[in-house]
Structure 1
């Protein structure tokens, strides 16, 4: 078993440095929407390879921007296709860490299964062991995997958390730190009740983690302020991060400020307002304002 090095620079950055996580991991299903918001219409590509090349150009523009650096950003979550590409002639994950001092994290899930018992489990992840080995060789520090909770169904929520921790065990064994992401839909009519059930399930699993194993949690911003404080303070939770979940950047930041010790892991809220048509100066100024607002909300 490969044990995570708690003295690695990346691990210590998470423990000691203020900042947030940039989520740049839109995959096949969400890429067209991300490009559309960026000002690139669907007639700009004719196949998946052209689409992924366009989104890589967008991500490259973000990552190489002067304002995108390790002073305010702890880590960036990448889609597998991005890990396999280069930025300025350097493999993306190595560019992030060696040039920007931003910890690289890889999305490993393959999407969501159909809804059952008020939740969507992860689809099976074939060749996970091979992917984790490749990730480690590519300089990846951790992973991310997402499930979705829509209703306060105790059986469904337990299945989500059980599955997340089952996969997390394999990721930890490969020497990586998993981000466990059981997202609660912000439009759920039972959001607060679902949060209470989720908190109980997560606490149970964390209580059984051996001392040398670490996870991160990526959670929907809760209805009750500081609801996840116990996880922020848990010795084996390296970081609790929050997804924006469809909230505007302004609302996500406002909710985040009220949850002390939790930091952002925003995707759409991070890139809100960025377009392909902006000049380099306009693009960097907009990104800088976005990064600063999210950073400020993350250090409460």
Structure 2
């Protein structure tokens, strides 16, 4: 797929984006969920090797290339790896799946009710490498924990500022100011965040577009305007701690948003499953998430 073909697939495709981007801090938890205990590896190299084997198994599963998965978000080490005898981005595109790269370097400590992203001086170099490998876009996450206008606006401002750096490298940024779904004042805070996002979009040049990855809103339809905004390529939803069933039920109430689930996609996969069992389990999750995304 060319860059323009990838853009068209993301903008108009009927499906969802898989999140395969667990990084160093979240990898042990992801492996435990897959049935691999911490005593099964020694050191980071073996740990990352095991998570790469899991991701290869997902990428190569027959159901993963059935057209319902539009894109996949990758951890940097996954992007640099291989699957099916090719680089992971090339193999994904061969299967009709648009590759994205997670580019944030983790979170700062909470202040003013939000966790901003850590500084990323090597962002342009990461983007250049990703573009060389055929990646279409990026993803970066910050977290909002309370309806504090100062923290919310700063988190959104940082997302757009980093997004501008990514756009200058020729990639499409997926901005992810995640709102903690356990927050008691989420409904109020999401309205503040929406206003900040709209301000950021209006400041973008008309020729530029970003993607948005947001928590499924407390009140259905809150982000419907964003799904139609000319400077938004696509609005995707994170599962945010919901189970697959919960996330799909909530997402289906928000037409125009599509899924970008990690836990919601992977929660029932196990290393011990036969290839047939693995593909059947993954296929069931893909079908449920796809149905909620096109509802």
When normalised by structure 2's length, the TM-score is: 0.98
Distance, in Å, in 1 between the alignment partners of 2:158 and 2:220 is 27
Structure 1 residue 70 displacement after superposition: 5.4
| Partner residue in 2 for 1:27 | 23
Distance, in Å, in 2 between the alignment partners of 1:167 and 1:53 is 30
For residues 40-119 of structure 1, what are the structure 2 equivalents within 5 Å? 40-69=36-65, 71-98=67-94, 100-119=95-114
* Alignment equivalent of 1:147, drawn from 138, 142, 162: 142
Distance, in Å, in 2 between the alignment partners of 1:14 and 1:105 is 11
Distance, in Å, in 1 between the alignment partners of 2:130 and 2:11 is 22
Per-residue CA deviations over 1:76-131 (Å, capped at 9, x if unaligned) read 00000101111122110111002x11000000000000000000000011311111
Distance, in Å, in 1 between the alignment partners of 2:203 and 2:121 is 26
The number of residue pairs the alignment matches comes to 294
Structure 1 residue 213 displacement after superposition: 0.5
Is 1:246 equivalent to 2:245 in the alignment? no
| Partner residue in 2 for 1:283 | 278
SS in 1 for 2:64: coil
| Partner residue in 1 for 2:201 | 206
| Partner residue in 1 for 2:225 | 230
Per-residue CA deviations over 1:29-66 (Å, capped at 9, x if unaligned) read 00000000000000111100100000000000001000
| Partner residue in 2 for 1:125 | 120
Q: Note the aligned Cα RMSD (angstroms).
A: 0.9
Is 1:217 equivalent to 2:212 in the alignment? yes
CA contact (8 A) 1:70 1:102 kept: no
Q: Which runs of 5+ in 2 are unaligned?
A: none
Structure 1 residue 16 displacement after superposition: 2.1
SS in 2 for 1:67: helix
Is 1:169 equivalent to 2:164 in the alignment? yes
Distance, in Å, in 2 between the alignment partners of 1:123 and 1:116 is 13
Q: Which runs of 5+ in 1 are unaligned?
A: none
CA contact (8 A) 1:183 1:220 kept: yes
Distance, in Å, in 1 between the alignment partners of 2:173 and 2:12 is 19
CA contact (8 A) 1:215 1:238 kept: yes
